[in-house]
């Protein structure tokens, strides 16, 4: 089935642009935030601008089955007017027709651009399966079943699979499946439901064409829980057949790979993934690792559960929730155990690659593992994202941007991936592009704190210090006392010339460092902004001794530019091994890829 290729359509009226396909609204050159329902409402009014649209029609077509009041509709209209610069008493765009509805009255120009197809492969979005069981406890199983099918399908090279974050963002939302497919740029959608009673399962699945909403395939499975792996095999095989995908020899038979024969261990693993997918919620990471460990206790040969443990320890170390020496060695051991059990687990190679990059500074080994992971599973989004971060650290920015775009293509609504697109552009010193990407991320979710921090990075380099400080303060509303935000706040104050405020931030950060083991790279950046080079290098040398996971990007940090002429900077690069790091994937000779030690420097 070919990928959907519809002309790219935008509506322009005065200085407002409404982009139908990218779900964006611009007023002048400034992006304006609209919640999905408000955006859909605006689009409906524009499309039917030749007449008054009755309130009941808007309820039926925009809200669909959801119950809605007149007050809720009026509030959404108010939000739209605020975004596009309209007013109820002197309307330029939306006129209220009392006791009837609304009419769009602006002069609209439709702008059509040819669609650019970047991927001609068949494509699918796997939506979360609905839980029809009496107990809400079975929600984890429904989500897990859909996620396992999604992960299995990513192993088919000739199939583009929308990643979990984007596909699951439509959970509990009353949208037509064709609209979901259009937003995800998917030609087909798999949806289903699960009803579980004791050991009995009823699973309903249907594969739907986004072009016309027709069912390509549907099936009902009435089985026992012990048959869950066979059911997954049958669903995946049916999808491959219906989409007429040509699979490689042996590929079709191994799409749904059975990593354990224990149904109980499998359930514990699904619970672990359920909490891992909510890892930024308080307590969720600890619950995830607890379930992974319980799964391993039931089946010590469960390789995927070890891979889950590796991811847990890697992120604990990266976000410096615990000391690097207390996390990364455990991540490496868990990844090694997973590969000892099964050396075809792509997730384990990606986890080991991340450890080699963040903690061991084994640049050649890290790249080999990333490439192996992507060869085994080309659709594994985290591997594309982490590899893009690695390529950035190596200053291979063209490759890094291409790689992070691959992650974004598979997971277009992921806040983390979209923010990282901006971060990679920032590292590449493309500050204008970075700002644009991060503003787009904040359009998806104005409460995503990390995007505000990355936005501040780029704004500082553009000399827009007040805007950067505002963005940092905004990030703190949502993330609290995050080290990255603190370092940028002190740095921004120092470059703005407000040394007293920068020193106040520094003293506060030093107090936290003494109490909580605050990362010394935070202190280094503020010292650098204040022009204290000795303190800057003192902090970075301490970070080196602590094996800080923020040192891999030492070669490219724009904020460290004023210190690069100091011989101590080259010495530190050499000690971390970045002076002779790989300059391309082809650099695989031992002389090029060897690790650089203190003796070499």
What does the pLDDT read at residue 190?
92
HSE (side-chain half, CA atoms, 13 Å) at 567: 1
What does the pLDDT read at residue 268?
93
How many Å from the N-terminal Cα to the C-terminal Cα in the chain?
56
| pLDDT greater than 80 at residue 480 | no
DSSP state of 596: P
- The C-alpha atoms of residue 43 and residue 9 are separated, in whole angstroms, by 11
- The C-alpha atoms of residue 386 and residue 407 are separated, in whole angstroms, by 9
What does the pLDDT read at residue 116?
43
- The C-alpha atoms of residue 432 and residue 463 are separated, in whole angstroms, by 12
Domain 8-113 in this protein, CATH class:
mainly alpha
Question: 490-518, pLDDT tens digit by residue?
Answer: 999 999 999 999 999 999 888 877 766 65
Question: 196-221, pLDDT tens digit by residue?
Answer: 888 888 999 999 988 778 888 888 88
Count the Cβ atoms, other than its own, within 10 Å of residue 23. 17
280-313 burial, b if ≥16 CB within 10 A, otherwise e? eeeeebebbbebbbbbbebbebbbbbbbbbbbbb
Task: For CA atoms 482, 488, 494, 497, give the dihedral sign.
Answer: negative
At 343, is the pLDDT very low, low, confident or very high (cuts 50, 70, 90)?
very high
Question: 262-284, pLDDT tens digit by residue?
Answer: 989 998 998 998 888 888 777 88
Of 300, 302, 296, 362, nearest to 332 by C-alpha is 362
Of 140, 232, 29, 492, nearest to 219 by C-alpha is 232
Q: Could you tell me the fold of the domain covering 123-258?
A: Rossmann fold (3.40.50)
- The C-alpha atoms of residue 387 and residue 409 are separated, in whole angstroms, by 15
| pLDDT greater than 50 at residue 378 | yes
- The C-alpha atoms of residue 175 and residue 184 are separated, in whole angstroms, by 13
- The C-alpha atoms of residue 421 and residue 434 are separated, in whole angstroms, by 8
Residues 6 or more apart from 56 whose CB is under 8 A from it?
none
How does DSSP assign 330-364, residue by residue? HHHHHHHHHHHH-TT-HHHHHHHHHHIIIII--HH
Give the mean model confidence (pLDDT) for residues 520-529: 92
Domain 260-376 in this protein, CATH class:
mainly alpha
Question: 66-111, pLDDT tens digit by residue?
Answer: 677 888 899 999 999 999 999 999 999 999 999 899 999 999 999 8
- The C-alpha atoms of residue 376 and residue 370 are separated, in whole angstroms, by 10
Count the Cβ atoms, other than its own, within 10 Å of residue 29. 8
DSSP state of 117: -
Domain 8-113 matches domain 123-258 at the CATH topology level: no
What does the pLDDT read at residue 63?
82
Residues 6 or more apart from 251 whose CB is under 8 A from it?
155, 156, 157
Three-state secondary-structure class, residue 407: helix
Which residues, in sequence order, are bridge partners of residue 203?
Answer: 194, 221
Of 358, 408, 355, nearest to 385 by C-alpha is 408
Domain boundaries, given as residue ranges, for the chain: 8-113, 123-258, 260-376
Question: 394-423, pLDDT tens digit by residue?
Answer: 999 999 999 999 998 888 888 899 999 999
Of 448, 451, 413, 416, nearest to 435 by C-alpha is 451
How does DSSP assign 219-266, residue by residue? EEEEEEGGGHHHHHHHHHHHHHHHTT--PPTTTGGGSS----S-HHHH
Question: 287-342, pLDDT tens digit by residue?
Answer: 999 999 999 999 999 999 999 999 999 988 988 778 899 999 999 999 999 999 99
Question: 154-169, pLDDT tens digit by residue?
Answer: 878 788 899 888 888 8
Question: 236-247, pLDDT tens digit by residue?
Answer: 888 878 877 655
User: Structure pTM?
Assistant: 0.74
| pLDDT greater than 80 at residue 477 | yes
- The C-alpha atoms of residue 227 and residue 250 are separated, in whole angstroms, by 22
HSE (side-chain half, CA atoms, 13 Å) at 119: 17
What does the pLDDT read at residue 319?
80
- The C-alpha atoms of residue 449 and residue 454 are separated, in whole angstroms, by 9
Give the mean model confidence (pLDDT) for residues 182-200: 87
Residues 6 or more apart from 132 whose CB is under 8 A from it?
193, 194, 195, 202
- The C-alpha atoms of residue 394 and residue 293 are separated, in whole angstroms, by 35
What does the pLDDT read at residue 593?
35
What does the pLDDT read at residue 591?
36
| pLDDT greater than 60 at residue 1 | no
| pLDDT greater than 70 at residue 475 | yes
Residues 6 or more apart from 18 whose CB is under 8 A from it?
10, 11, 12, 24, 25, 42, 43, 46
Give the mean model confidence (pLDDT) for residues 142-146: 89
CA 588 → CA 298, 557, 573, distances in Å? 41, 26, 20
What does the pLDDT read at residue 586?
54
Residues 6 or more apart from 550 whose CB is under 8 A from it?
519, 521, 543
Arithmetic mean of pLDDT over the chain: 87
| pLDDT greater than 70 at residue 537 | yes
- The C-alpha atoms of residue 383 and residue 345 are separated, in whole angstroms, by 12
- The C-alpha atoms of residue 366 and residue 477 are separated, in whole angstroms, by 35
Of 545, 514, 400, 548, nearest to 525 by C-alpha is 548
At 526, is the pLDDT very low, low, confident or very high (cuts 50, 70, 90)?
very high
| pLDDT greater than 90 at residue 429 | yes
| pLDDT greater than 90 at residue 444 | no
| pLDDT greater than 80 at residue 19 | yes
DSSP state of 127: P
């Amino acid at each position: 089935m070919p990928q959907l290729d519809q002309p790219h359509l935008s509506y322009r009226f005065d200085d407002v642009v409404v982009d139908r396909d990218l779900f964006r609204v611009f007023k002048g050159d400034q992006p304006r935030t609209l919640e999905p329902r408000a955006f859909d409402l605006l689009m409906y009014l524009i499309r039917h601008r030749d007449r008054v649209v009755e309130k009941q029609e808007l309820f039926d077509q925009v809200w669909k089955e959801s119950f809605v009041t007149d007050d809720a509709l009026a509030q959404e209209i108010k939000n739209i007017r605020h975004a596009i610069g309209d007013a109820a008493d002197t309307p330029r765009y939306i006129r209220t027709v009392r006791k009837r509805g609304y009419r769009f009255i602006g002069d609209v120009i439709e702008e059509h651009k040819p669609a650019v197809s970047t991927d001609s492969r068949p494509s699918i979005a796997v939506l979360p399966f609905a839980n029809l069981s009496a107990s809400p406890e079975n929600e984890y199983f429904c989500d897990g079943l859909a996620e396992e099918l999604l992960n299995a399908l990513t192993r088919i090279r000739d199939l583009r699979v929308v990643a979990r974050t984007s596909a699951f963002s439509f959970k509990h939302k009353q949208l037509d499946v064709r609209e979901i497919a259009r937003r995800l740029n998917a030609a087909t959608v798999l949806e289903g439901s699960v009803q579980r009673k004791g050991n009995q399962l009823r699973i309903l699945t249907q594969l739907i064409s986004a072009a016309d909403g027709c069912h390509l395939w549907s099936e009902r499975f009435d089985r026992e829980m012990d048959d869950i792996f066979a059911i997954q095999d049958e669903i995946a095989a049916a999808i491959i057949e219906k989409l007429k995908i040509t699979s490689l020899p042996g590929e079709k038979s191994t799409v749904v790979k059975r990593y354990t024969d224990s149904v109980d261990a499998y359930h514990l693993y699904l619970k672990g993934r359920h909490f891992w997918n909510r890892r930024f919620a308080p307590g969720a990471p600890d619950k995830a690792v607890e379930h992974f460990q319980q799964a391993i206790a039931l089946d010590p040969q469960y390789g995927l559960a070890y891979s889950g443990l590796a991811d847990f320890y890697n992120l604990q170390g990266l976000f410096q929730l615990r000391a690097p020496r207390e996390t990364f060695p455990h991540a490496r051991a868990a990844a090694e155990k997973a590969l000892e059990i099964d050396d075809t687990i792509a997730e384990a190679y990606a986890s080991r690659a991340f450890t080699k990059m963040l903690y061991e500074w084994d640049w050649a080994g890290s790249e080999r593992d990333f490439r192996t992971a992507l060869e085994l599973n080309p659709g594994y989004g985290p591997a594309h994202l982490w590899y893009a971060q690695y390529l950035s650290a190596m200053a291979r920015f063209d490759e890094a941007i291409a790689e992070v775009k691959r992650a974004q293509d598979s997971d277009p609504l992921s806040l983390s991936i979209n923010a990282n697109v901006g971060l990679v552009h920032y590292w590449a010193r493309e500050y204008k592009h970075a700002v644009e990407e991060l503003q787009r991320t904040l359009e998806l979710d104005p409460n995503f704190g990390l995007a505000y921090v990355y936005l501040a990075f780029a704004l500082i380099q553009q000399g827009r210090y007040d805007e950067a400080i505002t963005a940092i303060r905004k990030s703190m509303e949502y993330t609290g006392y995050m080290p990255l935000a603190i370092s940028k706040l002190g740095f921004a104050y120092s470059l703005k010339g407000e040394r007293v405020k920068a020193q106040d931030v520094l003293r506060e950060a030093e107090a936290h460092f003494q109490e909580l083991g605050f990362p010394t790279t935070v202190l280094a950046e503020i010292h650098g902004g204040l022009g204290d080079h000795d303190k800057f290098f003192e902090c970075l040398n301490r970070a080196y001794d602590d094996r800080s996971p923020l040192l891999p990007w030492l070669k490219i940090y724009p904020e460290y530019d004023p210190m690069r002429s100091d011989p101590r900077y080259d010495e530190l690069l050499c000690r971390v091994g970045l002076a002779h790091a790989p300059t391309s994937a082809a650099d695989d000779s031992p002389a090029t890829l060897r690790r650089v030690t203190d003796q070499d420097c």
